[in-house]
Amino acid sequence: MTSSIQNETISSLLANIGLEGTAVSPVLETLGQVDHRYLRDLKINVGNVLNSSQHLSGKETRLLALSVAVNEKHQPLIDAFTAGARQEGATDAEIAEVLACTSLLATNNVFYRFRHFTGKDYYQQTQPGIRMSIMMNPVLGKEFFELVSLVVSAVNGCELCVRSHEESVLKHGATEARVFDAVRLGAVVKGLITLV
């Protein structure tokens, strides 16, 4: 049975991500049964990335979190972060753009990792043949579109894409501190998904 302190920690964590009132996953329940200190760390980490960033707005944090939830196909968090983004002022067009960007980057990350891994001239020189028109005039602006692209690429482990999008987002005016906060958010949300 989960202790009352652990119950409070789990409830607070779920409320912070917009999943209050939902069933506790078996994985979280297992940690709660042994009074595991990681639950407190996770609650603090999630709170820090969603609510305490000096370099990302509330809307941006929810949209970035949404991109990771979509990438990882975690429907409860997709719903929660979509609702959170709307509460922070995100429009339907902005939410749709994050969904489309995430899909495009999932595609590109596979393709460009393959190119990078093989290193063969034919693959490097042949045009990808992948349409990317959504990158031209993003609703959220080029800088934020590149930031979403960077976070998804980092989560998917595409070194070539990470380098390219990090360089691009800095050229579009982001600071390294903003990049750091965004990628840290992506990492924490990815870790969160393994438990909820």
Q: Check if the beta carbon of residue 169 is closer than 8 Å to that of residue 33.
A: no
> At what angle are helices 142-156 and 58-71 packed, to 10 degrees?
40
Q: Is 161 a catalytic residue?
A: yes
Q: Which of 69, 161, 169, 185 is catalytic?
A: 161
Q: Is 101 a catalytic residue?
A: no
CA dist., res. 92 & res. 160, Å (int): 31
CA dist., res. 30 & res. 28, Å (int): 5
Q: Which of 50, 147, 152, 158 is catalytic?
A: 158
Q: Mapping DSSP to helix (H, G, I), strand (E, B) and coil, where does residue 62 land?
A: helix
User: Could you list the active site residues?
Assistant: 158, 161
